[in-house]
Amino acid sequence: MESHLSKSVVICLTADKPVRKTPYQVKGVFMKQFSDEKIVPFLNGKLRNKYLYPRVQVKILNEQIYIVGIKEGVNPVLSLIDNIRSFNFGNITINIEKYDIEENKDQFTPTEKLLRYKFITPWIALNKSTSGKYRFLTDQEKPLFLNQLLGKNLLFIAKELGFDIKNKIFTKVSVNNLIPEKIDENGWGAFTGEFKTNFLLPSYIGLGNGITRGFGTLFSLNNSNGLIPEASKEKTEEYIEEEINEEDEDITFVTTKDVRVINKRKKQKKRQDHHKKIKKNKNQRLTKNRHSIEKNNSNNSNTIDTNDDSRFNSEEYHQKQHDL
């Protein structure tokens, strides 16, 4: 049962020319050319209220198309592959020459040692609410705050996929710049860099906000047998699993008590009440004890990334934006 829950698949489509399109444009073509396929409800928004974490994710990496299927999304992705011959974008047709596939089991589970991952697209860690908190932290507190956001995000995904995680999830984030890059009008803040955690993740899935737009895509530096197409810029490195050192000042942990799961988007707690609670505690700082999580941060909205861009993920939006 658990091995089924933790299945994932990644498929890289090699085309006859560079793919210089957005994930939304590719998904729009999917919905038009393969309208009867099982994958379509995972792309057009019909299942977004059922699955808070996207079960099918489309990426454009190194000018190639990557399709990721997780749990319920695995079979729809696999069933589509043999039918893909080309993508007609209107102004250009891209022919698929071959595909590479990687299937994984026993993912999204804790490990006894730290594993290393790299963000290969910007990680949008901050939404409008958390950006305000982050701005007033010191440079020493900011990495710990990002650790907490990432840890909560990982636990949220595990719970949403049906896992009951009893372990502490440790995180150690290393970003290239503590000043976030602003992403459009949503008040989002993005970072580049890498992280370590005692949590097993497949390459090419997304974390944080904007997953359906291709943000937050990670690459595992631990799996030497993973999918790395010839044209890919990503390479696994000689990496020895690292022991968890709870005395490390740059590491934090979260537990399931720090994360809540919302079954339906419309049942979210009123944002107004959450702001009142934050306002009451706004003078509180992160304590020097890096392993204590402030209660006023435990319901952080960063654990749910899909609300901010859910309005984009519909067939009508694709048709309007890309004239499909």
Domain extents for the chain? 2-105+312-322, 110-303
Q: What distance lies between CA 52 and its chain's CA centroid?
A: 11
What region, left, alpha or beta, does residue 208 occupy, with left being phi > 0 and alpha being psi -120 to 50 degrees? Answer: left
Q: Can you give the pLDDT at residue 184?
A: 81
Report how far residue 214's alpha carbon sits from residue 209's, in angstroms, rounded to the nearest whole number.
10
The CA distances from residue 124 to 94, 186, 232, in Å, are 30, 11, 23
**Per-residue model confidence (pLDDT) at position 274:** 43
Per-10-residue mean pLDDT of the chain, 324 residues long, equals 68 94 93 92 90 95 95 93 90 93 90 94 96 96 97 94 92 97 89 96 95 94 62 55 91 84 47 42 44 42 40 38 34
Model pLDDT, residue 257: 81
**Second CATH level (architecture) for the domain 2-105+312-322:** 2-Layer Sandwich (3.30)
- Beta-carbon contacts of 71 under 8 Å, excluding residues fewer than 6 positions away, are 4, 5, 6, 7, 8, 55, 161, 162
Instruction: Look up residue 242 and give its DSSP letter.
Output: B
Model pLDDT, residue 238: 56
**Dist CA 189 CA 129 (whole Å):** 11
pLDDT value at residue 283: 45
Half-sphere exposure of 67 (CA within 13 A, CB side): 23
pLDDT of residue 227: 56
Read off the tokens for 148.
């907490």
User: Residue 287 is encoded by which pair of tokens?
Assistant: 């304590």
Give me the pLDDT at residue 95, please: 96
CA distance 151 to 229: 29
The pLDDT value recorded for residue 284 is 45
HSE-up of residue 124 (Cα within 13 Å, Cβ side) = 26
DSSP secondary structure code for residue 143 in this structure: H
The per-residue pLDDT for 83 is: 85
